[in-house]
Amino acid sequence: MSDDATGDPTAARLAEERRTVLGRLAALRGDFDDFVAASGDSNADDEHDPEGATIAFERAQVSALIRAAEQRRDEIDAALARLAGGAYGVCTVCGRPIDPERLEVRPSARTCVACAARARG
């Protein structure tokens, strides 16, 4: 994996993940705009279309995917801020180090496994 301009492979990985999420967001927003345009250009009753999902349903699905991608982008941004501030890899709940294997799987992790498990109840 290549390092970013600072030479930090973690920053490079997070930056690449952020670029991927931003690309996904752009595509999803384009899809959403297409659904809005499709529903605006037609006065058809797609609520009773036997052919499948309605435009409103598809638009709602894309909206949910956009919200999830925005949340992921925000998680990555927060991880980059922790990295810049020297707090990356430290659990935001208990203050102990986050296992490097957890960070390998989820580089934007804010909590250690124990605190994450407690939060899920």
**Separation of alpha carbons 98 and 61, rounded Å:** 34
**Residue 70: which of 21, 36, 119, 115 has the closest Cα?**
21
**pLDDT digit string, tens, across residues 6-30:** 678 999 999 999 999 999 999 999 9
pLDDT of residue 49: 57
**What 3-state class would DSSP assign to 90?**
strand
Q: What percent of the chain has pLDDT over 90?
A: 67
**pLDDT-based confidence at residue 120 (cuts at 50, 70, 90):** confident
DSSP 65: H
Report the pLDDT averaged over residues 89-96: 96
Looking at every residue in the chain, the average pLDDT score rounds to: 87
pLDDT of residue 1: 38
DSSP per position, the chain: ----TTS-HHHHHHHHHHHHHHHHHHHHHHHHHHHHHHHHS----GGG-TTS--HHHHHHHHHHHHHHHHHHHHHHHHHHHHHHHT-TTB-TTT-PBPPHHHHHH-TT--S-HHHHHHHH-
Asked if 92 and 110 touch (Cβ cutoff 8 Å), the reply is yes
